[in-house]
Chain A
Amino acid sequence: MAIEVNGKMIEIDEEGFLVDRDDWSEEVSEAIANRDGIDLKDEHVGLIDYFRDYYEEHQVHPTMHVLVQRIGGKIGKKFREHKEYEKFLYMLFPSDPVSELCKLAGLPKPLPSEHDG
C-alpha cells in the first residue's frame, strides 16, 4: 500500500503506519490523517510534535498515562480534572488516541498490552 504526497509515493502498511519512518513530514501526516478521516487542527499538530519529541528523547512513545499526567496535570490540580483531558483526547482521536498519534507522528505501532485479560 502507498499514498501519494507531493507526487512522491510513500509506503504504508494496512493500518496506515509508515513502513520507513524517515519518510515522515508534515504533509505525510496530513495525508494519513485524511485517510483516517481526521481534520488536522492546531491541537492535533501540537500533540504530534510532542510525540515526536518524546520519542526522540526516550525511544518509546508516550502512553496515555504520560499524556494525562504531564499535559493533563498542567490543566487542573486535582486527579479528576486530569481525567477531563483524556476525554478531550478521545474527542480529537475517537478510535484510540495513542495508536492514532503514533501513526500520524510516524512512530512504530504500539504493542498490545501483555496483560489485558
Chain B
Amino acid sequence: MAKKKDDKGTNNPGLNTPLLDELEAGPWPSFVSDLKQWSKTKPQVAQLLNQLEESYENRWNYWTGTVLNVSGYGGGVIARLSDKADKYPDLAEFHTIRIIPPPGFVYSTERLRNLADICEKHGAGILQLHGLTGDALALGFDNEGTFAAAEDLMANGWDLGGSGAALRSLQCCVGQARCEMACFDTMKTSRFLTNHYIDFLHRPEFMYKFKIKISGCANDCANAMIGSDMPIIGTWRGPMQIDHEKVAEYIEEKGVEHVIDNVITRCPTHCISLKGKELVIDDENCVRCMHCINVMHKALKPGKDQGVTICLGAKRTLKIGDTMSSVIVPFLKLETDEDFENLTDLIDRMWEFWNDNGMDHERIGEFIARVGLGTFLEGCGIEPDPRMVQSTRTSPYINFEELAPGDFEGEQTQQPKVWNREPESRESSS
C-alpha cells in the first residue's frame, strides 16, 4: 500500500495533517491512510487525526481520563475526554470498550463482521485487535453510545472486561489447535480460566492489574515471559523424543558443519553432542530452551511427559525496574479436571496473599521483591525448590569472608549475628 507523495490528503479538504502524512511514506501499510479513508464515512475520525496532528506539533497529549462504567461492571470501559472539545466537538467523549477475545484470537469472519457492525453503529468504528494487552479494543464511543454498544455486544454474545486493577483478559498462543510444538492445550486452559475467573475480569478489586498469558512451549508466542504477571508455559520432563533416521537424513542434507554450527554449539548448556550421525542429548542438563527442536523440527520433538511451568512477576517499570518472570512452580500436569482445580487453587492462594499484604499499585512481582520470595512461598504454602532462580549467578565465586564465622581468619573480632548484606543488584538494571 505504498502511497505516492502527490495524492496525500487531497480527498479530505477538512484534513490538515502534514506531520501525520509523513507516516504514510514507505512500503508499509499505514494507520494514517486507513483512518483518512475511514474519515470520509465518520466525521469524528477526521477530527481525531487533526487532534493527533496538533499533539505532534505541540508535543502534548490532549486526552483526559475519567470514570465510566456499564451497569454491573467495574471494568471494560476506558473513558477518555478530549481537552480540545471546543475545537473538535465529536471528540468530547471518545471512550474505548475492551472486549474479551476468544482463546487464541481465532474468530470466524461472521463474528468479526458482527463485531465490526456493532462498533460502527454506535461509535467511530475503529477496532484495535490484539496488541500486547490481548483484548479487542473498540474505539470512539460517546456516553450513550457506550451503553448502547455494551448492550448490543452482550446481546450478541460478546463480553466486556479487563480494565483497571483487575484480572486482564487472558492471552494465549494457538497451542495444540495449530502447532506441533505445543505441550498442553493452551486454548482450553485460557477458556477455563476466563470462565472460572470471569468475576475478576468484570469487577476490579486487586491492588493493581494482574495478567495471565499462556504459551504452549518455550518459544513463547504469546510473549508471556516478558509481558504478564503469571506466564503459564508448556514444558516437558524426561528425555526429548529423537527420531534417529530423521537426524541422519538432516545431517546428510545439510552437512555436519551446519549441524555443529547451528545446533550443537548453540545449545546454552552444551548438552548435545554428535556421535557419527547420531545426536546424543544429556537430558539432565537440558534446560528445555527448544532451540534444537526449532532447527531440527522433523527429527526432534518435546518429550512425552508434558505439562506446564508457572512463573511469576514480569512487569514494566513502576516501583522497581522492568523484570522478567521467575519460576514459581517448575512442573505441573495440566490435563485432567483435578489438575485444573490444582491450578485455580494455586492462583487463589497467591492472589489472597498478595491482596492481603500488598500495597497500593503494587504488581505481584514488586510485592515479591519487597517481601522476599521466601515469605511469599510461605504465605502461599508452596514448597521452595532450587529451580526458583530469579537471575542466574554471574560469578561462580562468592565472597567467603561474609559467610565465614568471625574466627575463621585467626582472631575473632566481632560476631556478625545477622547477615546484613544488600541484595545483589542485577547487572541489567544498572
Contact surface of A with B, Cβ cutoff 8 Å = 63-65, 68-69, 78-80, 83, 86-87, 90, 94-97, 99, 110, 112-117
Contact = CB atoms under 8 A, between A and B. Distances in A.
B206 interface: yes
B105 to A, nearest CB: 19
B71 A95 contact: yes
A83 B133 CA distance: 24
B78 interface: yes
Interface stretch (B61-69, B274-282, B289-297, B414-422): B61-69
B165 interface: yes
B67 A83 contact: no
B193 to A, nearest CB: 14
| B contact face: mostly helix, strand, loop, or mixed | loop
B72 A112 contact: no
Give the 8 A-B residue pairs with the shortest CB-CB distance, closest first. Answer: A79-B352, A112-B65, A94-B71, A96-B69, A64-B205, A112-B67, A116-B164, A94-B72
A68 B203 CA distance: 11
Interface of B: 65-67, 69, 71-72, 74, 78-79, 133, 163-165, 199-200, 203-209, 318, 348-349, 351-352, 355-356, 360-361
Given A86-B199, A115-B209, A64 B355 contact: no
Q: Which of B66, B72, B351, B356 is most buried by chain A, counting CB atoms within 10 A of its CB?
A: B72
A110 B203 contact: no
A112 B66 contact: yes
Nearest to B199: A83
Given A90-B72, A116-B164, A83 B205 contact: yes
B16 to A, nearest CB: 29
Contact of B165 (A65, A78, A117): A65
Contacts, number: 63
A86 B360 CA distance: 18
Given A96-B67, A96-B74, A99-B67, A113 B348 contact: no
Contacts of A64: 74, 203-205
Contacts of A69: 355-356
B252 to A, nearest CB: 53
Q: Which of A63, A68, A79 is most buried by chain B, counting CB atoms within 10 A of its CB?
A: A79
B205 A68 contact: yes
Contacts of A110: 67
A44 B412 CA distance: 68
B381 to A, nearest CB: 13
A4 to B, nearest CB: 27
Given A65-B355, A90-B203, A117 B78 contact: yes
